[in-house]
Amino acid sequence: MPARIEPELRRQQVVEAAFRLVVAEGIDGCSLRKVAAESGLNIGSVRHYFDGHEDLLAAAAEEAGDRMGRRLATHPAENLRGLSGDEALDALQALIEEVLPVDAQRRDAAIVVVELVIASRTRSVFRAMSQRMGADLTDVIREALDALEVPNPEMGAAQVTAMIGGLTLDAVTPHGALSVERLQGILRAHLRLLLAPEGRR
């Protein structure tokens, strides 16, 4: 058993090193040589676990997605059923903030995902993963909106997913230079409208 555990731990060590480098230097700064140095392993060990640069970047993006997925799983849609008013608003905002850069850990994961999504425009190897991440996030939000009995949860989920992308980009780049407080305020204003369409309040 120990012989099987050690390779898994070493592989994870390499993935986490790649994750940190993507956060610090972007995709182009995440070379196999730098990852080897960051993980404390030799480059041969890194190559043992990953076929090349793109394989390693995909693993770092998977790690970011997994971290987000674990956080989202702590907010099952069933827990939103029956909520209304500020309780519903608070619960939905807490769910969505799990994938937004509102603290250091979530910011790092968001940066890695943004790097992957941008790279997927020109690197076909990342397209399927990028599409899957987007679809999975949309599904989680649609289920939450359905539990809250929001009319047309499919359209609402599409709107919220697009907003998440915009808020994230503006928070982790100079494009919008959003502070956490501003990001949270914009999110809350939109969700308040989404949960209170004409005739519901």
Q: What is the pLDDT of residues 72-97, one digit of tens each?
A: 999 999 999 999 999 999 999 999 99
**What CA–CA distance (Å, rounded) separates 132 from 82?**
30
**Structure confidence at residue 29 (pLDDT):** 85
pLDDT of residue 58: 87
pLDDT, residue 162, reads 96
Written as six digits, the tokens of 162 are 């697009």
Q: Which amino acid is at 172?
A: V
Fold topology of 60-195: Tetracycline Repressor; domain 2 (1.10.357)
Q: Give the count of beta carbons closer than 10 Å to the beta carbon of residue 176.
A: 16
Give the helix/strand (H/E) hosting 69: helix 53-72
Q: Report the pLDDT value the prediction gives residue 201, as an integer from 0 to 100.
A: 42
- Domain residue extents for the chain: 60-195
CB 46 within 8 Å of CB 32: yes
Rounded CA-CA distance 108/126 in Å is 19
Output the pTM of the full model.
0.88
Q: Is 127 left (phi over 0), alpha (psi -120 to 50) or beta?
A: alpha
